[in-house]
């Protein structure tokens, strides 16, 4: 089943930079009605807002917000709902580099019982190593100090996919993905449906895969 993105109200967390920022542009290219982007990085968010609104007149808004602070996050939801009445698409994109609990996070957050019956389509998107600021020395510093250097060298020893490939994959998945499905975007290849997750876990050590 294909899903039409035109006229949708979109909310992207952590979208001032990287995959989120490119996704905001691609959603607007697809004809969505409005995109709200939040991020803790105020200057990058305001810069993106001014760039996108110069092309997509008033259809993008940046709001500074830390997703770990409930009052801020719920405040943004309320702001969007007050303005538009509803939200069609939420891209839970804000991220930092700590994949040590990736499996538990997926299993806890995406158990079918958590979303079945809600009427909300919930999709997991996994990216192979992608060329964004997330893989810079500054951001990789969130890992154990002892492995920081090795991790940085390891990540940069493999070809990184382009950020626009990751963002285009995300748009494709929003148009095609069924609820409960899991998708993999890596090596600039066409995005792949990797449901069930056993496949993802089985290739994790070999293919340098990270899951959001
Ligand atoms: N780049 C990769 O190789 C890769 C691989 C797998 C998954 N991912 C995931 O993709 C998503 C996008 O990553 P990216 O590569 O574009 O990284 P990025 O660092 O370029 O962008 C992530 C954004 O999230 C924001 N952010 C961080 N903490 C936040 C918070 N508490 N509240 C609000 N915003 C916050 C950052 O300021 C940044 O702008 C992340 O969830 C990341 O974990 C990326």
**What is the distance in A from the centroid of ligand 1 to the CA of 20?**
8
The pick from 13, 14, 62 for probing ligand 1's pocket by mutation, whose C-beta has the most ligand atoms within 8 angstroms, reads: 14
pLDDT for residue 153: 87
Q: What's the predicted TM-score (pTM) here?
A: 0.86
CB 67, CB 14: distance < 8 Å: yes
**What is the distance in A from the centroid of ligand 1 to the CA of 135?**
10
**What is the distance in A from the centroid of ligand 1 to the CA of 210?**
12
**Under the phi-then-psi rule, with left for phi > 0, alpha for psi from -120 to 50, and beta for the rest, what region is 88?**
alpha
User: Got the DSSP string for 78-134?
Assistant: HHHHHHHS--SEEE-----S-GGGHHHHHHHHT-HHHHTTS-----EEEEESBSSGG
CB 108, CB 92: distance < 8 Å: no
All structural domains of the chain, each given as residue ranges with its CATH number in brackets, are 1-95 (3.40.50.720), 102-212 (3.40.50.720)
Low-confidence ranges of the chain (pLDDT < 50): 101, 104, 108, 206-212
The pick from 18, 99, 124 for probing ligand 1's pocket by mutation, whose C-beta has the most ligand atoms within 8 angstroms, reads: 18
pLDDT for residue 107: 54
**What is the distance in A from the centroid of ligand 1 to the CA of 95?**
4
pLDDT for residue 197: 64
pLDDT for residue 116: 67
List the beta bridge partners of residue 93.
Answer: none
List the beta bridge partners of residue 125.
Answer: 183
pLDDT for residue 210: 45
pLDDT for residue 32: 98
Q: Could you tell me the CA-to-CA distances from 162 to 19, 81, 127, 135, 166 in Å, in that order?
A: 9, 33, 11, 12, 7
């Amino acid at each position: 089943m294909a899903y039409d993105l035109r006229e949708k109200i979109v909310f992207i967390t952590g979208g001032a930079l990287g995959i989120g920022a490119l996704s905001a542009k691609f959603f607007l290219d697809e004809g969505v009605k409005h995109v709200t982007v939040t991020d803790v990085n105020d200057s990058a968010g305001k810069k993106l807002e001014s760039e996108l609104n110069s092309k997509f007149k008033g259809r993008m808004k940046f709001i500074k917000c830390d997703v770990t602070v409930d009052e801020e996050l719920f405040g943004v939801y309320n702001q969007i709902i007050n303005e538009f009445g509803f939200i069609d698409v939420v891209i839970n994109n804000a991220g930092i580099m700590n994949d040590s609990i990736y499996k538990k996070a997926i299993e806890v957050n995406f158990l079918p019982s958590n979303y079945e019956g809600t009427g909300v389509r919930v999709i997991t998107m996994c990216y192979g190593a992608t060329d964004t600021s997330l893989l810079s020395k500054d951001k990789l510093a969130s890992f154990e100090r002892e492995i920081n250097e090795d991790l940085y060298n390891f990540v940069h020893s493999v070809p990184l996919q382009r950020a626009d490939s990751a963002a285009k994959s995300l748009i494709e998945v929003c148009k095609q993905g069924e609820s409960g499905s899991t998708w993999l975007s890596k090596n600039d290849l066409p995005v792949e449906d990797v449901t069930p997750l056993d496949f993802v876990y089985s290739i994790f050590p070999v293919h340098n895969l990270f899951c959001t």
